[in-house]
Chain A
Amino acid sequence: MSGATDRPGAGEFRIFRGLALFGLLVLGVWMMFQARRILLPFALAALLAYIMNPLATFLELRGLKRLHAVALLYVAVVLVVAGLAWWTFAVWSGELPRLRDEWPGHLKQVQTSAERADVSLRARWPWIAQRCSIPRTVKGFVRRTESLVSREPSAYLPYLTTFLLNLILVPFIGFYMLKGGRAGFQVLLDACPGRWVEKFLSLLYKVDDVIGNYLRGVLLEASIVGFCVGVGLKIIGVDTAGLLGAGAGLLNLIPFIGPMAAGIVGVTAAFFQFGNLMAPAWTALLFLSVRLADDIVFQPMVMNRAVHLHPALVIFAILAGQEIAGVWGLILAVPILSIVKESTTVLLAWYRSENSRSMLPPALARAAEKPWVV
Chain B
Amino acid sequence: MGTERGPLFLKFDLAWRRLLRDEAFRSRVEFFKKLFLFDGLPERSVALLAGKIMEKAYVAGETIFQEGDVGRACFIVAEGRVEVLKIGEPSAREEALAVMEPGDFFGEMTLLDELPRSATARAAEPSRLYILYKSHLDDLTDGSPRVAARLLRNLARLLSARLRRQNLRSAVDSTLKEPSPPRAR
User: Footprint of B on A, CB under 8 Å?
Assistant: 1, 3-5, 57, 60-61, 63-66, 68, 182, 185-186, 189-190, 192, 194-195, 197-198, 201-202, 205, 209, 350, 353-354, 357-360, 372, 374
Contact = CB atoms under 8 A, between A and B. Distances in A.
Given A61-B51, A63-B21, A360 B115 contact: yes
B69 interface: yes
Interface stretch (B30-38, B56-64, B144-152, B174-182): B56-64
B160 A198 contact: no
A195 B58 CA distance: 11
B48 A61 contact: yes
A265 B85 CA distance: 68
Contacts of A60: 22, 25, 51
A201 B131 contact: yes
B119 interface: no
Contacts of B64: 194-195, 197
Nearest to B160: A374
A1 to B, nearest CB: 7
Contacts of A61: 44, 47-48, 51
B22 A5 contact: no
Given A4-B61, A198-B65, 19 more contacts: A3-B120, A57-B51, A60-B22, A61-B44, A63-B25, A63-B26, A182-B54, A189-B56, A192-B56, A194-B58, A194-B62, A195-B63, A195-B64, A197-B73, A201-B131, A202-B133, A354-B69, A357-B68, A374-B160
A374 B56 CA distance: 37
Contacts of A65: 20-22
Contacts of A202: 72, 133
A60 B20 CA distance: 10
A209 to B, nearest CB: 8
24 contacts: A5-B63, A5-B122, A61-B51, A63-B20, A63-B26, A64-B20, A65-B22, A66-B22, A185-B54, A194-B56, A194-B63, A194-B65, A195-B64, A195-B69, A197-B73, A198-B131, A198-B133, A201-B73, A209-B135, A353-B70, A353-B114, A357-B68, A359-B116, A374-B164
Contacts of B122: 3-5
A197 B128 CA distance: 13
Given A5-B63, A63-B21, A357-B68, A198 B54 contact: no
Contacts of B26: 63
A179 to B, nearest CB: 13
Nearest 3 interchain pairs by C-beta:
A3-B63, A353-B70, A65-B22
Contacts of A372: 163, 167
Interface of B: 20-22, 25-26, 44, 47-48, 51, 54-58, 61-73, 87, 94, 113-116, 120, 122-123, 131, 133, 135, 160, 163-164, 167
A360 B109 CA distance: 13
Nearest to B75: A197
A347 to B, nearest CB: 13
Contacts of B21: 63-65
A289 B115 CA distance: 49
A63 B160 contact: no
A198 B133 CA distance: 8
Contacts of A3: 63, 66, 120, 122
A201 B63 contact: no
B20 A358 contact: no
B163 A195 contact: no
A107 B51 CA distance: 59
Contacts of B73: 197-198, 201
Contacts of B94: 4
A209 B52 CA distance: 13
Contacts of B57: 190
A61 B32 CA distance: 14
A1 B66 contact: yes
A197 B131 contact: yes
A205 B48 CA distance: 16
Nearest to B116: A357
B63 A63 contact: no
Nearest to A202: B72
A5 B62 contact: yes
A1 B22 contact: no
